[in-house]
Amino acid sequence: MAFEVLEMILSHVRIFPTVLSHIEITRYTRVILGRLQGSSNFSRLTDKGERQAATTHKMLEAEDFDALYHSPLARSSRTAEVVWGSRAGHVEGVAGLREVDLYSFQGLIKEEGKATFREAYVKWQKDPANFEIDGHFPVRELWYRGMLCWHRILTMGEEQSRVLVVGHNAINQAMICTALGLPVTYFRRILQSNAAVTALDFLPCADAAPRVVVDRLNSSPDSPFAKQLGSAGRPTKARLVLVCHAATTDSRSDELLSGTGDEKCSVQGLREAEQTAELLLDVEVGQLVCSPRLCARQTAQAIAAKRGEAAPEVQVETAIDAMDLGDWTGLSARQVRGSSLAANAEAIESVWNRTREVYTRLCAAANRVGTVVVVGHAASHSAMLCQALGVGMDAIPTFRLESASVSIIEFPDGAVDGDGVLRCTNYTSHIMQKDRP
């Protein structure tokens, strides 16, 4: 199928769920590595893979799902079986959820692929959107499959409003990107780790495509700073770690929108700040900046204190200040969810412009020091995630970010000239005894 025809199909397929749909996507767990697996079916889970699947089951054990859709390949089917457990509900293997079709590449040891296909292999590594083999464009076909899978899943109606999808690295990327309207050039810019969970909410809009909100992206059972993790198989040259300030109330369900109010961290918030500081001990931090708000400064100071004498000085950056929410200030997230921004709130364009300027400076700093930790607020962090992906300010509401959450942007080719790769967003697995709304 010609690329232009495929793009036309993707741009005209629209899904209009009549109820809110919450979709959790997870990738199969660990298998024996070293081959270009593609959609071949010879791999099975290792013992570590079984343990990872069991951990993901525990991560999701409090979640209620109406249905499970999974790849029919053995490694994904087994992961789905473990993660789903004894739940009741619709269970279906979907051929479209199989891994990317690599045709003549499939089954080869990676070194064999390099030696046999040379230029094609380089194309697969460097320019996968335009990679062609045996007359096929695997990544373009993958995007088409992802869209068809969404159509299958999201048109089931009210009886399936909370769905679990278990797939593979590449098809999960295609599913996430097509849901967000991102083209095939975003392949390998939305990372999917073994046994990690991505949650998407599809919010219905009258006479329009649903609004997609990323509740969390690539929330892995392992630390997002684990040494074995790279950016799509490549080492990371620079990194921005976006930390939302810790909680200002002692129950997440009671947390209110503070805007530019200068609140301090609650008792629970101080505990969250300590847990976040412990998580960040897994990575060398070259620079630590924070918003001027008290809760952000307290969170940053906890991170610095945990590092002792090796800690960088905490630098206050006014450009990442909280968004003035106007009449929304003091309301809960539940009260305003789905509503238009208060008329007297700071304009989204203002947040975008001040964040864009500081994002450029932070990228330059990351190029020099490796990892920059930024402690701030949901709106400014979401704007920086959008800037990393090269999408516009209209996408700022796409990312849901909770207190003490961690979001990571990696730059395998450097933070000035290279594309940003999202390692994870709204990672909160490090926070114990969470009371999530």
With pLDDT > 90 as the criterion, what percentage of the chain qualifies? 65
pLDDT score at 108: 85
Residue 190 CA to residue 231 CA, distance in Å, equals 9
Minimum mean pLDDT range among 153-162, 214-223, 329-338 = 329-338
**Residue listed under structure tokens 């059972």:** 221
Identify the band that residue 231 occupies on the pLDDT scale cut at 50, 70 and 90: low
Residue with tokens 């099975």: 44
Min mean pLDDT across 6-10, 59-63, 171-175 is at 6-10
Between 226 and 58, the higher pLDDT residue: 58
The predicted structure's pLDDT at residue 17? 42
Q: Which of 388, 387, 315 has the alpha carbon at shortest distance from 351?
A: 387
What token pair was written down for 197? 């969970």
Whole-angstrom CA distances from 128 to 26, 125, 184, 223, 431 are 22, 6, 8, 28, 37
The model's pTM: 0.90
Confidence of residue 1 (pLDDT cuts 50, 70, 90): very low
**Can you give the C-alpha Rg of the chain in angstroms?**
21
- For residue range 64-76, what is the model confidence (pLDDT) as tens digits? 999 999 999 999 9
Q: Are strands 197-205 and 21-27 parallel, antiparallel or unpaired?
A: antiparallel
Q: Which residues contact 51 (CB under 8 A, 6 or more apart)?
A: 29
Interatomic CA distance for residues 194 and 172, integer angstroms: 11
User: Where do runs of H (alpha helix) occur along 155-241?
Assistant: 169-180
Q: Look at residue 113 and tell me whether its pLDDT is greater than 70.
A: yes
Given pLDDT bands bounded at 50, 70 and 90, which one contains residue 416? confident
Q: Tell me what percent of the chain is helix, strand and coil, each rounded to the nearest 5.
A: 40, 20, 40
Q: Are strands 406-411 and 421-427 parallel, antiparallel or unpaired?
A: antiparallel
